[in-house]
Structures are given as C-alpha cells and as structure tokens.
Structure 1
Amino acid sequence: MKLLYSPASPYARKVLVVAHETGQAGEIEVVTAGTSPTAGAPDVAPHNPLGKVPALVLDDGTCLFDSRVICEYLDMRSEGTHLFPEGAERWDALIRQALADGILDAALITRYERVLRPEPLRWDAWDAGQVAKIRAALDRIEGVVADMPVLDIGTVAIACALGYLDYRFPDLAWRDGRPATAAWYAVFEGRPSMTATVPPQG
C-alpha cells in the first residue's frame, strides 16, 4: 500500500497513528505529495480527484480517501488491535472522531485565512468564528475526557487534533481552563504511535 501524505497534515497523522496502533505501519509506503487549496495537485489528482491527502493507494490501484475511510479500512484488515468498537460504544467513538475532525476543519481554514489569503482580504469575523468553534469543541472534550476509553478511533482523532493545535496554534493555549484534557493528552502523546508521527518543525 502507498500512502500519499503531507508531513504537516493532521489527517495524515491520524492515519499513520492508526497504522502504528494496528501493526500495519510497515506495510505502508509513505510518499510525500504536494497539495494546495489554491493550486492543483498533479501527483495526487490521478488518485483522488479532490487533490487532497491522505490518500491510500492499494496494491490493485484502488485509492481510498479521506482519513475516516482509510482508518476504517486499516481497522478492518487488522489482525490485532481494533479501534472501531461495536455496539453503542461505536457511535460514541465516531462522535468523538467527528468532534476532533471538526476542530481540524476549523483550524485548517483558519490557518489558510491567516497565512495564504492576502492580508487586505482577510476577514476577522470569519477567523473569530472558526476559533470559537475550536474552543467550543475543546470544552466538550473537557467534559467527556474522564470517561473516554484508553484507545479507540475517537481518542486517536482527539490526540491528533490537540497535537495540531500545539503545532500550528500555540497562541490558542488550549490547555488553559481544561486541566483534564491537558492531563489526558500528556499521557496519550507519549504513545509510540504518537512519537513516531510527530510532524516536522518549521
């Protein structure tokens, strides 16, 4: 299998963490692919017409995207650890994954607004609205973190979202007022799957 990814992508990191946790990281060739919200992605588009990463190209040429689909595929083929529970616990895990992905959605478009959009065209109200969504989601996590299981797709997604906030939004200071989440993340970020997938600085 070949994973098209960007080293800074938190969605790609989520996929890689799942690959490590399920013992499949060694079966995946990781290929850095250039993507941009404003330009084409010639190395990705033949596989994913959306031009986005992560995209997992299987041995038969089939391409899976986005991160949620890839994570579930890897979980399905795992012969050991499974991160998608069954029954009522499944919906709880999926909701937490959606909450974490929502944080990332808001964070990424905020970064585009701040870094890529020409300064005279930046929209302060848009930026503030996205940051408000991030803070609201973080507050929800603070309320449920004590009841989260040790490991499932929801906890992986939340950890990757928090890691991205540290990486790109240190000024957000997400730990302030959220001691339970901060304590939880301090433990989770030490997992080998997380330390093996830390994005490059810069």
Structure 2
Amino acid sequence: MQLISAPASPFARKVRVLASETGLLPRIELIDTAVLPVTHNEQVNASNPLGKLPVLLTDDGEALFDSRVICEYLDSLHDQAPLFPAEPAARWRTLRLAALADGLMDAALLLRYERAVRPAEYQWDGWVDGQLGKVRRALASLDAQAHELQGSLNIASISVACALGYLDFRFADLHWRQDAPALAAFQAAFAARESMRSTEPA
C-alpha cells in the first residue's frame, strides 16, 4: 500500500497513528507531497478528484480518500481489537467524537490557509473569527467529554489527539490548555504513545 500525504497534515497523521497502533505501518509506503487550495497537484488529483490529502493506494490498485474512510479500511485489515466499535451505542458515540475532532481540524486548516496563503490585503477578520469560534466551541465540547477519551484507544481518541497536536504545531498562541484542563490531561497521556511521538510534525 502507498499513503500519499503531507507530514504536517493532521488528517494524514491520524492515518499514520492508526496504522502504527494496528501494526500496519510497515506495509505502507509513505509518499510525501503537499497541496494548497490554489495550486494543482496532479499526482493527488489523479487519485482524488477533490485534490485533498491523504490518499491511500491499496494493494488492489484502488484509491481511497478521506481520512476516516482510509482509517476504517485499515481497521479491517488487522486482528487486534477494532478501533471503530461495532456495538451501535459505542460506535455512534465514538464516531460523533471523531467527527468533532475532524471539524476542529477543518477549521484550524482554514485558519492556517487564511493566514499563511491568502495575501494579507485579502484576509478577512470575520472569517478568522468564525473559524476560531468553531475551534473554541469544539475544544469546550471535547473538554466536557474528555472522560470518554481518557484511557481509550479508538478512532475518536486518535482523531482528537491529532487535532490537538495540530493546534500545538500551528497555533501555539491559542494556549488551549488553559480553558480545557480535562482535555489537556488526556492529551498529555495520549501524546506519550510511540505512535504519536513518531508522527509528530517537525
């Protein structure tokens, strides 16, 4: 298998962490690239018409995209405890938390593009405030639900940890831990896992 991704992408990191935790990482060739909303990456576009990362090229020659789809596919390839719960109540709780983490990542990436890619004279303070609002509401909600994450290893805990890692990487000035102590405690423990340490962006 081949994973086309960007080392700084929190969505790609989520895939790499899950692959590491399930023992699948040695079976995956990592292909680093980069995409921006205003540029074309033909390698990525050929596999994902949306031009977004990550993309997994399976051994059968199929291209899978969207990190959650890739993660669920990888979760079907190992014999350990599943990281996507099968029991309905646990599954929907877990997927809801994972979706909240994905939304946090989306908002943070849009903030990053606005600040780092859009020319300064075209940047929109209202847009920035809107995305920051999403980030802060997601953090508050995750902090209130941190007891469901603490000590767990599943797609939700992996997604949340990667989202928070991206905030530390790109938005250290947010100081998110000040208002989310329970979430900070979860992150401190989860970030110590080898899968997280080995995928930390430089």
Q: What band does the TM-score fall into relative to the shorter chain?
A: over 0.9
Task: List runs of 5+ in structure 2 lacking aligned partners.
Answer: none
Please report the RMSD computed on the Cα atoms of aligned residues, expressed in angstroms. 0.9
Deviations 1:174-202 (A, max 9, x none): 101211111111010001110111111xx
TM-score, normalised by the number of residues in structure 1: 0.96
AA matched with 1:155: S
Give SS of 1:44's match: helix
Q: Which residue of 2 aligns with 1:43?
A: 43
Distance 1:147 1:101 in 2: 17
Distance 2:50 2:189 in 1: 35
Q: Which residue of 2 aligns with 1:114?
A: 115
Distance 1:129 1:52 in 2: 23
> What is the CA-CA distance between 1:13 and the residue it aligns to?
0.1
> What is the CA-CA distance between 1:34 and the residue it aligns to?
2.6
Moved over 6 A (4+): none
Task: List runs of 5+ in structure 1 lacking aligned partners.
Answer: none
> What is the CA-CA distance between 1:42 and the residue it aligns to?
1.3
Find out whether 1:157 has 2:159 as its counterpart: yes
Q: Which residue of 2 aligns with 1:4?
A: 4
Deviations 1:29-50 (A, max 9, x none): 0001231110101121111111
Deviations 1:55-114 (A, max 9, x none): 000122110001010000000111223200122100011001100000011000111111
AA matched with 2:72: E
Q: Taking every aligned residue pair, what percent have the same amino acid on both sides?
A: 50
Give SS of 2:179's match: coil
TM-score, normalised by the number of residues in structure 2: 0.96
Written as runs of structure 1 = structure 2, the 5 A alignment for 1:94-173 is 94-148=95-149, 150-173=152-175
Deviations 1:120-176 (A, max 9, x none): 111001101110110001000110101335111000000000000000000111101
Written as runs of structure 1 = structure 2, the 5 A alignment for 1:43-122 is 43-87=43-87, 88-122=89-123
Pick which of 35-44 and 90-99 moved more: 35-44
- Is the 8 Å Cα contact of residues 23 and 80 (structure 1) preserved in structure 2? no
Pick which of 49-58 and 65-74 moved more: 49-58
